[in-house]
Structure 1
């Protein structure tokens, strides 16, 4: 069904920020290592605030008659972090089931697909912290195996700063029966934070795994970092972006105590240029984005 979605629709929406929006809400306290995931268990007001954000995105896609991809809040749910947090052992499957429930209770006529996230082992802005490929495959296999047994429609490894770790994750995901995507974090030069060009990173992983990803994303970056740095036709395997609202370097954004965002109209124009120049079909937001950003994407 997911492959058919890409074949049928030249534009697909994916959620904008969830955790970063929740961070600014007075009724919400994020977990120090698992962020918004434990909110699926409560408190009730905080859980409802998170659910309301997903519903906003579902409504926006339905109003535009566009398909939508949502991702369950499983980004940091590796065994090491779960072991040191006071949360149920089945939190990965619980998080996926939570979002499937939100989708099923609120979805309209437009298709909504639910994915399951995994993230880097270390700091997503520090490629030097990334494990080597074999270590990454071992480290991430437990969580990926748990997510593969859920009813998620796809897997997505997100905010990866180094190709060596991305390859290990891809090898683990290739062993499942789920379609999957790999998403890199890039610098202002459009390269993965470890210095690898996107075209080289995608080709290398495609050649090294028995079942390549359905496609590749970039996230926690800006479309203005990608479009001018690659000639048309060179990023055919890049299918999606979840872009920051700001065109500042990600390391500067990470050090900021306040939300940083360019005017929505400028952001949407940059996203439109990436969409048309490189045929990137899945469009959504990351840090500094919200409902206004998704609405702007629905209109381009």
Structure 2
């Protein structure tokens, strides 16, 4: 289904960082290791806050008549963390089910897909802590297998800081029967945080695993960081979930303050990346909200002579 969406549509929307938006709400307390996921079991207004964030993205996509990718809050639900947190062992499957129900209550549109996330084993901003490819495959396999057996329509490794961990995840995801995406963290120089150039990392994984990823993405980065890549060098890059700030993400982490560029500027540079490298899946990460996607959509609706892309006749 995701492959078909990519073939048929020039632009696909993706959600922003739900956990980061919840973190900015003073009334919300996130789990120390699982973040917002345990909220799926809550029976109070806090769960409703999380649901409302997903619904905002559904509203934006519906109003724009564009496909939308949502991802269940499974980013930190590896077997080790789940066991240590003493939450239900079914939490991965439960998180996917929760988001499918949110989607189905809001819309019956076939072009809203629900995927599931896996995150890095260690700190996503410290590539030196990343496991080897072999260790990563072993570490991530249990969660990937569980998610592949769930209602998730695709799998996505998010904020991966090194080639070796991305390769290990690809090995573990290959052959599970679900399309999967490897999404790396990239720094201001456009390289993955371990220093590997993005085009080189994609080539290594494609040449190594039996079942290639459906495509690659970058997350927790800023679109202009990829300006150094010549046109045609990122043909396998299909998505970005961009930070609201153009600062180095390793300096933003733990800063305690939310910084962001103007929404209009974020939308402009995101669309510039879309035009240069035909990156189809556009969404937000830290420091963004549904308003960023609204502005992005508005820019695509401008007439061609304005200098922006337009899909208003599709």
TM-score of the aligned structures, taking structure 2 as reference length: 0.94
Moved more, 21-30 or 184-193: 21-30
Please identify, of 235-244 and 288-297, the stretch whose mean Cα deviation from structure 2 is larger: 288-297
Name the CA shift for 1:189/1:147 in 2 (closer, same or farther; >3 Å): same
Task: Provide the residue aligned with 1:163 in structure 2.
Answer: 163
Counterpart in the other structure of 2:22: 22
CA distance in 2, matches of 1:239, 1:109: 22
Please report the RMSD computed on the Cα atoms of aligned residues, expressed in angstroms.
0.9
Instruction: Tell me, yes or no, if the aligned pair for 2:116 and 2:154 is still in contact at 8 Å.
Output: yes
The separation in 1 between residues aligned to 2:89 and 2:63, in whole angstroms, is 38
1:103-141 Cα shifts (integer Å, max 9, x gaps): 000025461000000000000000000000001000000
Partner of 2:38: 38
Equivalence for 1:68: 68
- Structure 2: which 5+ residue stretches go unaligned? 301-314
Structure 1 runs (4+) greater than 3 angstroms displaced: none
Deviation track 1:55-98 (CA, whole Å, cap 9, x = no partner) reads: 00001000000000000000000011011103101000000000
CA contact (8 A) 1:15 1:285 kept: yes
Question: Can you list the C-alpha shifts for 1:25-80, whole angstroms capped at 9, x where unaligned?
Answer: 13311000000000000142111100000000001000000000000000000011
Contact 1:145 1:176 in 2 (8 A): yes
CA contact (8 A) 1:61 1:110 kept: no
Q: Is the 8 A contact 1:136 1:165 kept in 2?
A: yes
Aligned residues: 299
What is the 5 A alignment of 1:165-180? 165-180=165-180
Asked if 2 retains the 8 angstrom alpha-carbon contact of 1:13 and 1:297, the reply is no
**CA-to-aligned-CA distance 1:215-261 (integer Å, 9 cap, x gap):** 000000000101x2100000000000000000000011103112111
Alpha-carbon separation, structure 2, partners of 1:142 and 1:61: 33
User: Residue 261 in 1 paired to residue 246 in 2?
Assistant: no
Q: Which runs of 5+ in 1 are unaligned?
A: none
Q: Given the two structures, how large is their TM-score scaled by the length of structure 1? A: 0.98
**1:259 counterpart SS class:** coil
Map of 1:288 onto structure 2: 287
Q: C-alpha distance in 1, partners of 2:259/2:108? A: 32
**Corresponding residue for residue 307 of structure 2:** none
Question: Contact 2:268–2:296 (CA<8 Å) still a contact in 1?
Answer: no
